[in-house]
């Protein structure tokens, strides 16, 4: 009997309608389109004016079930990668299952910041590969606008809101997730974190007054680690799987900064045409970036294409997934 692999058999994104352009931002904080574009590659981002992360998930999952023809009652497991859950508890996964009527599913939220989708993909794939489950949904979502200080020009220009959802199903042709390398270094937490609202510093008058419920990022430090580690792990997964640059059809990189994406592609020896980039229109949606890239590029993907997904983010967390695309759309 051939080994079961876990293949992505459908992908769907959802971004809020409201567009916040660089020019609009420059009316709120001391910044400008030239600085943002040249330092990051971002031109605009989406902002969710009403509702929560689970609402973006619900839209993406609705579309995913529709396009794949799968019944909500057939979903076994829903993993939601996010740093902006609706509540500390219950999990956003619980809420999405309720909103969509996935009554036979269970699920959980996974915190790995920008690496959330690849952590979720690797984790979800295990349930398929063992034969235990037939339909797993992995979601990457973040409503970053809920934890961003729009008075802080070093963070508010970068982040945006968005969501993507992937359906994982068993595959007997050897397609789907081939390998993954996941890494973490908790000592990096001082450089990128949400300081308050957890058990260490519960919400109080002081934490609110000191802006501790907004993302704290030391951009330069994070950049240094991101550029090295994302490039290294992408090269490492190629080496480990004997992939040359010619063998890789697509790099699907976390969309944090165009300069980090370019450094990763260069290290892998890939030309620009093989690199998915949509940072210009969505900014950094944290766990949302990778599934949003797959959604945007879905029509260009062919069955059997070799994809390397890679990410770096808060934690620090980082890693790469080697995936064979499983369908033509």
Q: Which residues bind ligand UT7 (CB under 6 A)?
A: 31, 35-36, 39-40, 114, 153-154, 157-158, 219-220, 222-223, 226, 256-257, 260, 284, 313
- Nearest 5°: the CA angle 57, 63, 69 is 130
Nearer to ligand UT7, 48 or 317 (CB): 317
Spatial separation of the C-alpha atoms in residues 101 and 61, rounded to whole Å: 11
| Residue 143, CA distances (Å) to 25, 43, 161 in order | 17, 18, 5
Q: Identify the sign of the CA torsion 167, 260, 250, 297.
A: positive
Active site residue 254: yes
Q: How far is the CB of 231 from ligand UT7 (least distance, A)?
A: 12
In this structure, the number of other CB atoms found within 10 A of the CB of residue 93 comes to 26
229 catalytic residue (yes or no):
no
Q: How far is the CB of 157 from ligand UT7 (least distance, A)?
A: 4
Q: Which residue, 154 or 228, is less far from ligand UT7 as judged by CB?
A: 154
- Find the shortest distance in angstroms from Cβ 254 to ligand UT7: 6
Task: Give CA–CA dist 148/141, Å, rounded.
Answer: 15
Tell me the closest approach of the beta carbon of residue 244 to ligand UT7, in angstroms.
Answer: 27
Position with the least CB separation from ligand UT7? 219
Query: Smaller CB distance to ligand UT7: residue 148 or 260?
Result: 260
Residue placing its CB nearer to ligand UT7 in the complex, 33 or 236: 33
How far lies 197's CA from each of 81, 88, 214, in Å? 18, 9, 10
Active centre residues (catalytic): 114, 254, 284
């Amino acid at each position: 009997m051939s080994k079961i692999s876990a293949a992505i058999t459908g992908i769907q994104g959802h971004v809020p309608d409201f567009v916040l352009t660089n020019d609009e931002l420059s009316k709120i904080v001391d910044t400008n389109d030239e600085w943002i574009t040249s330092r990051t590659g971002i031109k605009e981002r989406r902002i969710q004016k009403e509702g929560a992360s689970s609402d973006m998930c619900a839209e993406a999952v609705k579309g995913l079930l529709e396009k794949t023809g799968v019944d909500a009652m057939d979903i076994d497991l829903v993993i939601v990668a996010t740093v902006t859950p609706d509540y500390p508890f219950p999990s956003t996964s619980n809420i999405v299952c309720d909103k969509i009527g996935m009554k036979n599913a269970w699920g959980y939220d996974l915190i790995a910041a920008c690496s959330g989708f690849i952590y979720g993909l690797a984790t979800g794939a295990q349930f398929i590969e063992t034969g235990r489950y037939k339909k797993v949904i992995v979601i990457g979502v973040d409503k970053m606008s809920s934890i961003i200080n729009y008075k802080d020009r070093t963070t508010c220009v970068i982040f945006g809101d968005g969501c993507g959802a992937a359906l994982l199903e068993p595959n007997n042709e050897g397609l789907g997730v081939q390998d993954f390398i996941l890494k973490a270094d908790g000592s990096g937490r001082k450089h990128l974190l949400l300081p308050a609202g957890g058990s260490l510093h519960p919400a109080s008058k002081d934490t609110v007054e000191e802006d501790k419920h907004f993302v704290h990022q030391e951009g330069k430090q994070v950049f240094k680690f991101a550029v090295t580690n994302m490039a290294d792990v992408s090269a490492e997964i190629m080496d480990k799987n004997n992939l040359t640059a010619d063998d890789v059809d697509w790099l699907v990189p976390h969309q944090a900064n165009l300069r980090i994406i370019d450094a990763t592609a260069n290290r892998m020896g890939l030309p620009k045409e093989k690199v998915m980039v949509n940072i210009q229109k969505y900014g950094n949606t944290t766990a949302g970036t990778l599934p949003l890239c797959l959604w945007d590029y879905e029509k260009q993907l062919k069955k059997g294409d070799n994809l390397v997904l890679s990410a770096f983010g808060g934690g620090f967390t980082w890693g790469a997934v080697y995936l064979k695309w499983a369908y033509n759309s």
